[in-house]
Amino acid sequence: MFRFLKSQFTGILAVFLLLANTMVCIGPLLITAFIKLLIPFQGFRKLCSIIANGIAVIWISINNFNMGITRKINWDVQGLEGLSLKGWYLVISNHQTWADIVVLQKIFNRRIPLLKFFLKKELIWVPLLGVAWWALDFPFMKRYSAAFLKRHPRLKGKDIEITRKACEKFKTIPVSIMNFVEGTRFTKEKHDRQNSPFRHLLRPKAGGIGFVLAAMGERLTSILNITIIYPQGETSFWAFLCGRINEIKVWVEKIPIKRNLSGDYITDPDFQIRFRSWLNSLWRDKDRLFDAQGADTRLLP
């Protein structure tokens, strides 16, 4: 009983510290966003972006400090050598829990540029967050479905054009674009529904990162292929906050972007097949890594 109450208190304390940190940092970030919006000079906006990114890095650093004082975690992280704050990266990872985002922020903070996600263009209208994402230069994209393009063929390729334009700012500002290519968090129900060929993973979706590479592949330094394993089998975010997850293993594989990854995923069917095959091979390697580590797979039979 005492251990249970202690873990619940740890979780509540972790939530309080996270909210307090967010409340302190959101004010300066929104002020920076407002100034950036008012003064539309490119050089000044670049300065505002640097300040906004700095605020986000401070927010992550404080979260990491708070995590260290509220929970004891044994970190086993491999492959961080050779990374740079001056690089342009596409970061891909398996996805099991919301804690994955905290894990990635922890291991990459001040090692590579701030992790950013491609967001749907409509999300810019989310109160406060939309402005904050805009200030942090999160790229907003417009995706058209195949059915929509069939009805409006004149818009074919327009989504890539919009995304490329959103990425223009990254010509001079290094960036790390993050993508959970499975599209959702792992559960046994989703695994069974997909009839996934992988024991520990969902099927990877190639379209998202194919779209990113088509939009800004020539600017990317390399792909960082991340494998996150929670050996104890517990993966809920609340369990993470409560300190019940006390061992985390992370592998970082740096993949150069060679000719086999350069192509038009949007319009070239042959390249789509090759690209999907390459991505599936990465996921087979991840699956074998889970087995090699003897990961607890209590979610699966």
* CA-based nearest residue to 36, from 47, 22, 23, 25: 47
Q: How far apart, in whole angstroms, are the C-alpha atoms of residue 240 and residue 157? A: 42
Residue by residue, pLDDT tens for the chain (301 residues) are 767 788 898 999 999 999 999 999 999 999 999 999 898 888 888 899 899 999 999 999 999 999 999 888 999 999 999 999 999 999 999 999 999 999 999 999 999 999 988 777 777 788 877 888 888 888 777 665 556 556 656 656 566 666 667 667 777 788 898 989 998 889 889 999 999 999 999 999 887 788 778 777 678 889 999 999 998 887 889 999 998 998 999 999 999 887 777 777 777 888 888 999 999 999 999 999 988 876 554 444 3
Q: Which two tokens stand for residue 101?
A: 């985002």
Q: Is 283 exposed, middle or buried (0-12, 13-18, 19+ CB in 10 A)?
A: buried
- DSSP per position, 134-193: HHTTPPEE----HHHHHH-GGGTTHHHHHHHHHTGGGGTS--EEEEETTSS---HHHHHH
286 neighbors 94 (Cβ within 8 angstroms): yes
Q: pTM for the whole thing?
A: 0.86
What are the domain boundaries of the chain? 74-292
Q: In the chain, how many H helices and how many E strands?
A: 10, 8
